[in-house]
Structure 1
Amino acid sequence: MLFTESTIGEFFEEQVRNEPDRDFIVYPDRNLRFSYQEFNERVDDLAKGLLSIGITKGDHVGIWARNVPDWLTFLFATAKIGAVLVTVNTAYKSHELAYVMKQSDMKALAIVDHFRDVDYVETVYDLVPELKTCKRGNLKSEEYPNLESVIYIGQEKHRGMYNTSELLLLGTHIDRDELDRIKKTLNCEDVINMQYTSGTTGFPKGVMLTHKNILNNGYYIGERQKFTEEDRVCLPVPLFHCFGIVLGVLATLTHGGTLVMIELFDPLLVLAAVQKEKCTALYGVPTMFIAEFSHPMFEMFDMSTLRTGIMAGSPCPIEAMKKVIDEMNCKDITIAYGLTEASPVFTQTSTDDTIDRRVSTVGTSMDHIEVKIVDPETGEIVKPNEQGEICCRGYNVMKGYYKMPEMTEKAIDKDGWLHSGDLATVDEDGYYRITGRIKDMIIRGGENIYPREIEEFLYTIDGVKDAQVVGIPDEKYGEIVGAFVVLNEGSDLTPADIRDYSITKIARYKVPKHIFIVEEYPLTASGKVQKFKLRDMAVELLENKDE
């Protein structure tokens, strides 16, 4: 029996009745807080505002924004009227935004002013010049025939766009009965959220997720951390990704807790938020945690209220994990593994697991989800501790990729198993270890080389802070091993030093032929290293070296 068959709107309203006055959302740097009741009222007004401009069940509403407070209002408002929230990566630029708007058949797009060096308002005007001449809500765009409205999240007015204040006001003129009527037509199996895979390889695909997918996954993720209504979760990861929405928002909501939001990751803001709001849980990718405990002002902040949290997105160096446990007081930190297509988590460690299991595995399978490891060539289940592709089946598997039936069939087999493309092993106790991606595997002269194994080795070298290993095209061997290494501050290690040491410690064919010392890696907005960009960089660096 699953935890809930409710829609997100129904479940949220139940929590409002249970805990109307408890803090639901806090923005410490804005001194802004909403109780469950206050936030629900704002959500209802925005939901009615969306209805007033013609958005209803099944329509696709894009959101392209930092973690501003009304991001979450849009999340719950669209859920209450059965519209599909299409989350757009904040790091996207005009080419990528154009692709998502078109591919998703977007009817409305909500935006903020900018992110880093990209002016969102000007980007949208460049893509949709008709906005400046069309009446609001009656947009007719040649390039984007489905797009009818653009909404600016904020007070400012922009030609051709609604702003959130106007929508909230419009919502007060819509009869409550209209919202209630639509809510009665919704079902937990409806697609409610569409997330575009982060694009570490190939064209982004729109992953269709249902109320049932993400609400239940959020609950079981919170259970692994032993969440209660007393938990206060500091969330500095972007909301456009499953990490933010499911692991963060829905894991907290399903346990009646409080979300402490960070609009844009900054280690100092995170440390200040944890202290000010007495957070009990902290989320992030490994690079975020490293930035926090490495900050020169770290010692000035009180981390004593922290207990648990989640580290996910990429493998964590063991030394970094020990610091998070010992110095940040996250004694019960958990590791989660999954992918957007799986809503996203299907294995996770628990607070009771030993430190060794929390640093060397991604835990055991989640409740109500089957997990298996198969030989990528034959599809046969492999023996314990043998490497193969990790697959899952259960309530959490996506409905499919939007308008990509062939890609959906490749990802989900006829028996309902979702194929991750990730390589893993499982031990006799059911603990899974991720060893790399099938596509990341390097084949050097017929030898299969798994980058994760070499990366773990490189972490052990004194002076190495982080390492990423990729295959570099080679005429003789097909591929050779390349490594991009970030050094600790003050380290004077050279590529030759690393290579000479490696020769003495690992098989010769695994030793990186080329080592590049870098200060940082190209990352997706959700913190994943873009290995295909590292491969391109390696080729370019070697070509320049030969000239």
Structure 2
Amino acid sequence: METVRVLSVPQLLERAAVENPSKEAIYDLRRRITYGDLHKEVHQLASALVSLGIKQGDRVGVCLPNWLETVQLFFAISQIGAIVVPFNPKYRQHEVEHIIKNSGMRAIFVCEEIEKHIGLSFIRTSVDQIITVRFVKSGFFSLEQLMAYATDQSLPMVTIDPQHDLFCLLYTSGTTGAPKGVMITHRGIVQSGVAIADSLRCNQDDVFLICTPIFHVFGMACNLMSAVYSQAKMVLQERYSPREALRLIEKEKVTIHHAVPAMLHMELNVLNSESFDLSSLRAGMTGADVCPLETVKAIREKMGMTLCISFGTTETGSVTITPFEAEEDRIFETVGKALEGNEVKIVNERRETLPPGEIGEIACRGFGVMKGYYNMPEQTAEVLDEDGWYYTGDLGMMDEYGYIRFIGRKKELIIRGGYNIYPKEIETILQQHPVVFASAVVGLPDPVLGESVCAVIQPKEGVHITEADIIEFLRPLVADYKLPNKVVFVDQFPTTASGKIQKGKLKEMLKEY
């Protein structure tokens, strides 16, 4: 156990290949590959990267969906001591430009989607080497051509210190301001995967459905690294579809299903009208956003799996989780307690520790906490202190047993006429309305009260609901000062790649209403 936690990312794969070479590792809906062959092809790809002149410490961009090649690149880049810079192929020009310039990447692997969005000629002005994956474009090197240069030669001797050396620069999803490059160590990403796998009692007989993007910390740590540590099989879903996810669970006998709340909610909607054999499902976890109580209950009942609730950020990885056999009220009402190797505390505005039962900012320290923001020392100092405590900007309350109740984002706190209003409280209640598909509550400027409360509702398809219906539903359930001043209905919310509602963009949208 302890020795696994200090392994580097390439050593984690080597361990699986040595102990279980013939075990199926990945099925990405195009190809199946064993751990032994995966390790061999990663070595060849690492050799090809060396032929490009990539060396230890260089940054290499990976702008790909959940493909086998993406996984191979993660391990090959790290094998030669270079640093992975993964990001969303759906990003637009200003986002890609910022990531390229901030990271100083030497090379980048791209899919056709990024070519359609912004064009490779734009990227060529800033990056030495552009390699296309699963498509060919005149004047650009393809992955197939690169692999032709690969040999079985020994790779340069590279020493990786898992505690301090970077595995990746993982850019925040940019819900506020420009994305920041979170520096994640080998130990941080490996131990996050180990801790989640151990919490869910994963082993080599498990089958993971990886439907969350692996360019995001949830998909990368909780899915990919957990699966490789467990030596389990991974089924990669390139583009998420709830119906396709359920079909894959049935067809591939999936046992582990990690997904964000929005995904689980959509799957439940499909299950209302269609049936699938989900008897193989054993466990899963959800995080990245608030999971409504009704969704948690329905998942456990309709999908028959133990669903654990986790809290974490890009800067920390998973911080807490509800224990596998926790009592129902713990699962329904908390995000669990600190994973082994993590510490959590609740602090006031002066960063003084608060006693159990009081609301304050969630702070954490442990294996997954970032080294800092890349080339951003001032922003790093704002959230990371000299003792290694990271201040999340999230509000929570801890009970006497260490369980954390998530209250909401500190920046999302609405102060209306001197009263503190926590959006999550109202959102949780709204999700219990029978025709509400998704909801968000935000504060809008008010010349008299300071802020007013606006509820934004995405109704379920084909149903009609009015502002009066929402207010009357909430009236007996919340204090009068928490009732929305305004209710807006939308067809769809702006979301990050992990399915989290982007409240900054939502507020911009509301200016049109």
What runs of 5+ residues in structure 2 fail to find an aligned partner?
Answer: none
Q: Among residues 195, 202, 207, which one is paired with 1:232 in the alignment? A: 207
2:6 maps to which residue? Answer: 5
Instruction: Note if 1:187 corresponds to 2:161.
Output: yes
2:289 maps to which residue? Answer: 314
2:333 maps to which residue? Answer: 360
Give the Å deviation of 1:98. 0.8
Q: Secondary structure at the match of 1:6?
A: coil
Q: Among residues 417, 433, 437, which one is paired with 1:445 in the alignment? A: 417
Letter in 2 for 1:66: P
Do the aligned partners of 1:284 and 1:310 also contact (CA within 8 Å) in 2?
yes
Do the aligned partners of 2:358 and 2:397 also contact (CA within 8 Å) in 1?
yes
Give the Å deviation of 1:494. 0.8
Do the aligned partners of 1:472 and 1:539 also contact (CA within 8 Å) in 2?
no
Q: Deviations over 1:280-301 (max 9, x none)?
A: 0112111111212212686432
Give the Å deviation of 1:258. 1.1
Q: Secondary structure at the match of 2:298?
A: helix
Distance in 2 between residues matched to 1:258 and 1:421, nearest whole Å: 36
Distance in 2 between residues matched to 1:68 and 1:514, nearest whole Å: 43
Instruction: Note if 1:123 corresponds to 2:119.
Output: yes
Give the Å deviation of 1:462. 4.0
2:27 maps to which residue? Answer: 26
Letter in 1 for 2:22: D
Instruction: Note if 1:340 corresponds to 2:319.
Output: no
Letter in 2 for 1:93: R
Do the aligned partners of 1:44 and 1:77 also contact (CA within 8 Å) in 2?
yes
> Mean alpha-carbon deviation: is it higher for 4-13 or for 460-469?
460-469
Distance in 1 between residues matched to 2:434 and 2:243, nearest whole Å: 27
Do the aligned partners of 1:91 and 1:524 also contact (CA within 8 Å) in 2?
no
2:111 maps to which residue? Answer: 112
Give the Å deviation of 1:395. 2.3
Runs of 4+ in 1 over 4 A off after TM superposition: none
Do the aligned partners of 1:482 and 1:538 also contact (CA within 8 Å) in 2?
no
Give the Å deviation of 1:279. 0.7
Instruction: Note if 1:59 corresponds to 2:39.
Output: no
Distance in 1 between residues matched to 2:304 and 2:376, nearest whole Å: 45
Q: How does 1:216-227 map to 2 (within 5 A)?
A: 216-227=191-202
Distance in 2 between residues matched to 1:99 and 1:490, nearest whole Å: 40
Give the Å deviation of 1:318. 1.4
Distance in 2 between residues matched to 1:358 and 1:190, nearest whole Å: 35
Q: Secondary structure at the match of 2:53?
A: coil
1:134 maps to which residue? Answer: none
Q: Deviations over 1:302-325 (max 9, x none)?
A: 100001011112111211212211
Letter in 1 for 2:160: L
Give the Å deviation of 1:4. 2.3
Distance in 1 between residues matched to 2:167 and 2:273, nearest whole Å: 40
1:517 maps to which residue? Answer: 489
Give the Å deviation of 1:488. 3.4
Do the aligned partners of 2:292 and 2:428 also contact (CA within 8 Å) in 1?
yes
1:14 maps to which residue? Answer: 15
Distance in 2 between residues matched to 1:238 and 1:485, nearest whole Å: 26
Q: Deviations over 1:247-301 (max 9, x none)?
A: 0000111111111110110112211211111110112111111212212686432
Give the Å deviation of 1:432. 0.7
Letter in 2 for 1:351: F
TM-score, normalised relative to structure 1: 0.90
What runs of 5+ residues in structure 1 fail to find an aligned partner?
Answer: 132-140, 542-547
> Mean alpha-carbon deviation: is it higher for 420-429 or for 455-464?
455-464
Q: Deviations over 1:108-165 (max 9, x none)?
A: 01001116xx715x5222x14xx5xxxxxxxxx4xx2xx21001012x4323322111
Distance in 2 between residues matched to 1:336 and 1:56, nearest whole Å: 36
Q: Secondary structure at the match of 2:433?
A: coil
Letter in 1 for 2:132: Y
Do the aligned partners of 2:89 and 2:111 also contact (CA within 8 Å) in 1?
no
Distance in 2 between residues matched to 1:310 and 1:240, nearest whole Å: 18
TM-score, normalised relative to structure 2: 0.96
1:465 maps to which residue? Answer: 437
Give the Å deviation of 1:244. 0.9
Distance in 1 between residues matched to 2:361 and 2:238, nearest whole Å: 36
Distance in 2 between residues matched to 1:310 and 1:217, nearest whole Å: 13
Aligned-pair RMSD on alpha carbons?
Answer: 1.7
Give the number of aligned pairs: 511
Give the Å deviation of 1:491. 4.1
Do the aligned partners of 1:2 and 1:216 also contact (CA within 8 Å) in 2?
no
Residue 510 to residue 297, structure 1, CA distance change in 2 (3 Å): closer
Distance in 2 between residues matched to 1:527 and 1:90, nearest whole Å: 15
